[in-house]
Structure 1
Amino acid sequence: MKNIGLIAPLWDWNVKYPFKTITCYPPLGLAYVASYLEKHGFAVSILDRSAVFAQSHFSMNALNIKTVEWIREFQLEIIGVSCCTGEHGDALKVAAMVNRAFPHIPVVFGGPHVSALAPLLLERYPIIDICVSGEGEISMLEICQSKKLEDIRGISFRKDGQIVNNPPRDVHKNIDDFAFPARHLLDMHFYTKRSTHLVPPLFIRGTDVISSRGCPYNCYFCASKVALGKGVRFQSVDLVIKELELLIDRYHIKALSFVDDMFATKKKRVKEICQKIINKGIHKELKWACQLKADIVDKELLQALKEAGCVLVEYGFESGSQKVLDRANKKAHVSFYYSAAELSRKAGILFQANIIAGLPGETVEDAQMTLSFVKKVKPDWLVLSRFKPLPGSIFYNELIDAGRLSVDIWERLFILEENPFNCSAMSDEQYARMLHHLHRHLFFIRSRKFIFNNFKCGIYHPRLIFYGVNRALNPKFKHLLYSIFR
């Protein structure tokens, strides 16, 4: 029986802004891989460097020492490292650390970033031994079983100085085979502590759940298909309910978030889940949230969600400009957004608006339309993200083909906080000014309940107060404040 270690790296921006690691989400992707390996007789341990970083008082030196000690303690024989684009920098640091201190241990990379760039990563970084593209459960199992690398679908590796790319692995249709994630290998006390991040703006104890894999849509800014494939695969309703009951009984959670790419792809299934939640009395135990697409929302669906204990729905509005939405292939009309907001409010469900600033082709006028839109719909919670061209997305490929990006832009994507890469139709000066304007205005379009709960969260985690103030202040004062609070 081999000892397998799985590592979730630190997000690259956490090194510069460590207070963002105060509230972490469990690495469920690795937990699913770990569960599948355990079912086949392997001993597995998981290290989440974001959690350890927060628990080590944001000391990189302490984090790295604990990582080496963990590898030595569990006598690991294979190490798997998950890698999203935003974790790229720390993932490479981990690989270098392993290569330097434990050169006999093979390092396997996987995740969305790797699925998009496997050959390039192997070419550039000899510290990586194997890359897994697509879902990792079966490929990682076959690697751990010492199957010939040439016979394992969905991986890339080196042989005789050459990079070998095996045929892709078909997606596994029955995802019930992967249930449940190995949460017993995680510090669930840390992940379930009270915060406003799980079901905003509620200050509550909970965790997240994945009930399906994949998305039926093809938004040009999204790269999920490179890892999860096309289409959607669903966990059976009975297993979804069983997992909720397990989380309540074992971890005493009071809230959860379904983090499926799109929870209501099948309305009939969602209504069945809601009915069984009610039948089991789970709606009396849990408040929960999910993500919906605005153009599929109707009164009946929202009523079913409300009765089953759903208190918040998340909408990927992205922009208030129809031109920008069409350019991003959102397949939605702004009018649907206004309707979804109104229906949610009438149903008594809070709603979160997700906005992306700086999408390709966006002008100052488009950004102003987005600001106007948000002011009109008055979301209960708002998430404003800067557009980043993720490897594997349509926009990433388009921008490279147009000569606007270098192929290695991802090496800097998540550390360009003060001078973000500009892919919009605005000048750099206009873009920077608009970002500050949006942050200053949009982050304070909140209800009194939002402010109250964030104040409570700030009592437990004072650095979060600085994070909100930091977003609203003039950039000239940010470095001074950060040096004081650090």
Structure 2
Amino acid sequence: MRFNKVLLVQAKYDSAFSNVFPAGIGSLSETLDHEGLTNDVFDLNVKRNTEGMLHDKIRYFKPDLIGFSMMSLNYKYNYGVIERLKAIFKDVKVVVGGAHLSTIRKEVLENCKAIDYGVTLEGEHTLLELMKGDEDEPDIKGLLYRDAGRIIYNGDRPFIQDLDSLPYPRYKKFNKSDYSTLVSLFSSRGCPFECTFCPTKLAIGRRFFTRSAKSVVDEMQYHYDLGYRDFTFRDDNFTLVRDRVYEICDEIEKRSFRDIYLMCDAGVRADKVDRDILKRMKDVGFKMVAIGVEAGNDRV
């Protein structure tokens, strides 16, 4: 089946970052644009965007596929959004991706019958293949789908190793006045550790792949030139590879940015930072680094 139009929806979640540009659907939209595939976006976290307005958007845009990026926060509410949507737009197919789907996989489709497809882990290539329709559903890696009452999973897709090959999000389809001035950056994907409390190993995988320093800072430069000055690195383990952090800092320094405020708020491991690396980060504009507390035990 080929899909001609997809509406990418950021599912609702309650978080301090719900007013930040949604990098996930931003990246997917950019990838689809790059491939010439028609798409639009809708963010349920924007205060003025109601469920009724989502229905209006669907009537106006007329997508044949709607993609939800979903976290586990508010998942029951978002299942209801999808069920009510499908009751009205019966012919539209719904695909869900994001951390919630990648973590519990088939269980999502079991619990919400209105969901037709699931996309695990990295969504760019799986969504492209689903939309283009060149591959039969059983041949699309990373895809969950329904067949004669059964839920089928085709197995994990190999990770994207060359992250520089993906276009970075420019948020051209978003109303920028709806969002804060803080821009999220992802310079890597994955984390090789297996902390029991952390879902990253399931949601994105234990492999670790990186973007080049130039690619990362080119993205910063794009938004800086539009007037943005606040950036947060949301990697799951930004300081894992020490030399890479220094390369990014060197590239930032070359650009002669003025008045920038950099953060690393997703939480770096305490054993992957020291005074030297923190000083270098501070020198190029980092003002805050969150340190992950791995245990409440002093010995650990």
TM-score calculated relative to the size of structure 1? 0.58
Whether the aligned pair in 2 keeps the contact of 1:135 and 1:227 (CA below 8 Å) is no
Give the distance between the partners of 1:87 and 1:137, measured in 2 at CA.
24
Establish whether residue 150 from structure 1 lines up as the match of residue 145 from structure 2.
Answer: no
Task: Give the C-alpha shift of residue 264 in structure 1.
Answer: 1.0
Establish whether residue 272 from structure 1 lines up as the match of residue 247 from structure 2.
Answer: yes
Q: What residue in structure 1 maps to residue 259 of structure 2?
A: 285
Whether the aligned pair in 2 keeps the contact of 1:156 and 1:166 (CA below 8 Å) is yes
Q: What residue in structure 1 maps to residue 59 of structure 2?
A: 72
Q: What residue in structure 1 maps to residue 174 of structure 2?
A: 186
Task: Give the C-alpha shift of residue 22 in structure 1.
Answer: 9.1
Higher strand share: 2
Establish whether residue 207 from structure 1 lines up as the match of residue 207 from structure 2.
Answer: no
Amino acid at match of 1:137: E
**Higher RCO by CA contacts (8 Å cutoff, separation 6 or greater):** 2
CA deviations 1:300-334 (Å, max 9, x no partner) are: 211211111111111112543247xxxxxxxxx4x
Radius of gyration: which is bigger? 1
Q: What residue in structure 1 maps to residue 160 of structure 2?
A: 172
CA deviations 1:327-351 (Å, max 9, x no partner) are: xxxxxx4xxxxxxxxxxxxxxxxxx
Give the distance between the partners of 1:279 and 1:182, measured in 2 at CA.
22
Q: What residue in structure 1 maps to residue 88 of structure 2?
A: 101
Task: Give the C-alpha shift of residue 121 in structure 1.
Answer: 2.3
Q: What residue in structure 2 maps to residue 4 of structure 1?
A: 6
Q: What residue in structure 2 maps to residue 419 of structure 1?
A: none
Amino acid at match of 2:245: V
Q: Are residues 239 and 144 of structure 1, via their aligned partners in 2, closer, same or farther at CA, if it must alter by over 3 Å? A: same
Coordinate RMSD, CA, aligned: 1.9
Give the distance between the partners of 1:99 and 1:296, measured in 2 at CA.
47
5 Å-filtered alignment, 1:209-228, equals 209-228=185-204
Give the distance between the partners of 1:183 and 1:86, measured in 2 at CA.
23
Q: Are residues 84 and 23 of structure 1, via their aligned partners in 2, closer, same or farther at CA, if it must alter by over 3 Å? A: closer
Helix, strand or coil: the match of 2:289?
strand
Q: Are residues 234 and 10 of structure 1, via their aligned partners in 2, closer, same or farther at CA, if it must alter by over 3 Å? A: same
5 Å-filtered alignment, 1:334-413, equals none
Which residue of 103, 116, 134 maps to 1:116? 103
Give the distance between the partners of 1:22 and 1:131, measured in 2 at CA.
24
Higher helix share: 1
Establish whether residue 141 from structure 1 lines up as the match of residue 143 from structure 2.
Answer: no
Establish whether residue 262 from structure 1 lines up as the match of residue 262 from structure 2.
Answer: no
Q: What residue in structure 1 maps to residue 79 of structure 2?
A: 92
How many residue pairs align between the two structures?
295
Whether the aligned pair in 1 keeps the contact of 2:18 and 2:45 (CA below 8 Å) is no
Establish whether residue 162 from structure 1 lines up as the match of residue 150 from structure 2.
Answer: yes
Task: Give the C-alpha shift of residue 216 in structure 1.
Answer: 2.5
Q: What residue in structure 2 maps to residue 340 of structure 1?
A: none
Matched-pair identity in %? 27
Listed as ranges, the gaps of 5+ residues in structure 2 are none
CA deviations 1:111-152 (Å, max 9, x no partner) are: 121122222222332211011111111111111112311110
Establish whether residue 45 from structure 1 lines up as the match of residue 21 from structure 2.
Answer: no
Q: Are residues 66 and 141 of structure 1, via their aligned partners in 2, closer, same or farther at CA, if it must alter by over 3 Å? A: same
Q: What residue in structure 2 maps to residue 295 of structure 1?
A: 271
Amino acid at match of 1:266: V
Give the distance between the partners of 2:219 and 2:213, measured in 1 at CA.
10
CA deviations 1:83-130 (Å, max 9, x no partner) are: 211131232122112211111110001112112222222233221101
Helix, strand or coil: the match of 1:96?
helix
CA deviations 1:173-204 (Å, max 9, x no partner) are: 11112221241122223223xxxxxxxxxxxx
CA deviations 1:276-314 (Å, max 9, x no partner) are: 2112102x2311011432222222211211111111111
Helix, strand or coil: the match of 2:145?
strand
Give the distance between the partners of 2:121 and 2:108, measured in 1 at CA.
15
Give the distance between the partners of 1:23 and 1:118, measured in 2 at CA.
24
Which residue of 317, 325, 338 maps to 2:293? 317
Task: Give the C-alpha shift of residue 246 in structure 1.
Answer: 0.4
Amino acid at match of 1:219: C
Q: Are residues 37 and 22 of structure 1, via their aligned partners in 2, closer, same or farther at CA, if it must alter by over 3 Å? A: closer
Amino acid at match of 1:138: H
Superposed structure 1 runs of 4+ greater than 3 Å apart:
20-23
Task: Give the C-alpha shift of residue 23 in structure 1.
Answer: 5.7
Helix, strand or coil: the match of 1:185?
coil
Moved more, 125-134 or 86-95: 86-95
Q: Are residues 263 and 190 of structure 1, via their aligned partners in 2, closer, same or farther at CA, if it must alter by over 3 Å? A: same
Q: What residue in structure 1 maps to residue 20 of structure 2?
A: 25
Q: What residue in structure 2 maps to residue 439 of structure 1?
A: none
Listed as ranges, the gaps of 5+ residues in structure 1 are 15-19, 57-62, 193-204, 324-332, 334-486
